Amino acid sequence: MFSNKTIVVTGGSSGIGKKITDEILAAKGRVFVLSKNEKKIISLNKKYISNKKFLGIQCDVSDENDVKDAFNFINKKTNHIYGLVNNAGINPSRNDILNTSLADWEDTINTNLKGAFLCSKQAIKSMKKNSQGSIVNISSVAAFGMKKRVAYSSSKAGMIGFTKSLARDHASKNIRVNCICPGYVPTNLVKSYLTNLSAKEKKDLFDRHPMGKLGSPEDIAFATSFLLSNRAKWITGIALNVDGGYSIF
């Protein structure tokens, strides 16, 4: 499905991003993973040392120079960036506005939204040269408003508007931009949250998903792979809820 296609995945060293990376590699794509975590990048490069279609690059997506350097390197290694998955995200503050520090607000916006802006800007330069490209932004059901998530919800809501604006601007160049809004998926970030919930709170969270269970990283990876691929060639500007029915309420 992704033969001869180069795809960049941010935050691809763990959780949902890692499953997206595995899915692209399984479909014969070439993947460059960007991650701020040096240890995880070293570990991934060792794991895939025999796979010439994989390379991890240490990069802070909120740093413009880091992002420029990473994409300059990628452009030297490949003729054309076909795809970008803006998956890198953090959630340091589960608080209302009165208890959210400015530092946590800025860190969240810088990684989750500014990072997508910086990476998309570099990727689209390559995509325009070939009149072809596909971007998938990983948002969240938190984008629709979630209690005590003022910074995170704001960043993920911004991702939806960002997606639709990019889609309108670049559709004529055959560059598609879509967004996925996952429900609760037990990544390391979510697992740490779940451990602090009471039995009733956990039951309430599961019950909020009408399908009666949390999602898996594979669920998000499969949806991402579809939107990246030519199977979705007439789809752009959407925000797809992959959430076990969470957003029905």
Q: Is position 184 annotated as part of the catalytic site?
A: no
- Tokens for 249, please give them: 């309420």
- Tokens for 200, please give them: 């009733």
Spatial CA neighbour of 68 closest among 122, 112, 133: 122
Q: Within a 10 A sphere around the Cβ of 26, how many other Cβ atoms?
A: 12
> What is the rounded CA–CA span in Å between residue 86 and residue 95?
24
- SS3 percent helix, strand, coil of the chain, rounded to 5, is 50, 15, 30
Question: Angle, to 10 degrees, between the axis of helix 115-130 and the axis of helix 64-77?
Answer: 30
Catalytic residue chosen out of the listed positions 152, 184, 193, 246: 152
Question: What Å distances lie between residue 33 and 13, 83, 90, 131, 208, CA to CA?
Answer: 7, 12, 17, 23, 33
The 10 Å CB-count burial string (b at 16+, else e) for 75-91 is beeeeebbbbbbbbbbb
Are the C-beta atoms of residues 52 and 74 closer than 8 Å to each other?
A: no
> What is the rounded CA–CA span in Å between residue 150 and residue 146?
8
Tell me the catalytic residues: 152
